[in-house]
Copies of this chain bind each other. A is one copy, B any other.
Amino acid sequence: MAVYTEIADNELEAFIAGYDIGAVLSAKGIAEGVENSNYLLRTEKGPFILTLYEKRVKEDDLPFFVALMQHLAARGLNCPQPVMNKKGEALGRLAGRPACIVTFLDGMGVKKPGVAHCAAVGTALADLHRAAADFTMTRTNALSVDGWRPLYDAAASRADTVMPGLREATEAALIDLEAHWPDDLPKGVIHADLFPDNVFFLGQRLSGLIDFYFACTDTVIYDLAICLNAWCFESDGSYNITKGRAMIEAYRKARPLSSAEIEALPILCRGAALRFMLTRLVDWLNVPPGALVKPKDPLEYFRKLRFHLHCRAASDYGLAE
């Protein structure tokens, strides 16, 4: 659920006047994106999305995100394209925050992805990786393996209040991942948060990818592990290998996988599950009193982690032999 920064009267109008997009006709706060305030704008030139960057997004990272969206859009990927103001800048300030206007993408997230959706995501993810291959800026992934122990430390003492035994199991997984995390696989820009609410569809057709605010430079195939976690489990916690196969095969059709990448898939899947479990756990244990945001369940990802602990090879995820 999004945060809403209120924009003072006239301030919006003055901000929009700095762009060549006509006058504002309406601006509605929308429930999209977790980290920022988003408004669906209608101007005389059509619909746009206005994003105010809240404190969880570092201002220093914004030029990376904006340049990445411009780069990907220029290569034909359907993603929001930053709109330049009359000074030629994509980033401005509104309501005391950095702000950006991006183009509006048609389409809707799916709540219950089917096999075809998973295949489409596999293709789109590979397309993203290929389109970003010549992007020159880099951004460290603060939520990769080096970032997990600080999260674990912040949550460990209270982890068992969420589920008895959670602390020990988490620590064991962490120690294993720290010892064996692969460092020699191809690196590049990854989306790092391509969950179903960040992928738009029109019917069965994938119409766009949004929310690049976790994008970073990391092991490319780790992004596929994140997507397998986010898309291929059923609501009862079971892994749907048909969906996994559809996603992996669609991905490697568009971007071939090396044998080292294939071999690493199980550990990358464990890492992805631990990463989302840990951030959810920290959020879960630190809900401020009176918070308007309901935290996501960390145990959903603990159950996924447990599944991955039984996987030995990429074929366990559906990779065709």
Contacts and interface: CB of A to CB of B under 8 A. Distances in A.
Given A9-B112, A47-B42, A106-B42, A30 B29 contact: yes
A9 B110 contact: yes
A314 B112 CA distance: 59
A106 B28 contact: no
Contact of A107 (B25, B31, B47, B111): B25
Contact of A30 (B24, B30, B290): B30
A15 B177 CA distance: 48
Contacts of A202: 23, 25
A3 B112 CA distance: 21
A39 B12 CA distance: 22
A292 interface: yes
A249 to B, nearest CB: 23
B25 A106 contact: yes
Nearest to A105: B26
A168 to B, nearest CB: 28
A6 interface: yes
B292 A111 contact: no
| Count of chain copies | 2
Main secondary structure of the interface of A (DSSP, over half): loop
A8 interface: yes
Interface in A140-177: none
A27 interface: yes
Nearest to A26: B106
B292 A27 contact: no
B107 A26 contact: yes
Contact of A111 (B1, B9, B13, B31): B9
A202 B22 CA distance: 13
Given A6-B111, A9-B111, A111-B6, A40 B28 contact: yes
A233 B206 CA distance: 50
Given A9-B110, A47-B47, 9 more contacts: A4-B31, A8-B112, A9-B112, A26-B200, A28-B31, A29-B31, A30-B31, A30-B40, A292-B293
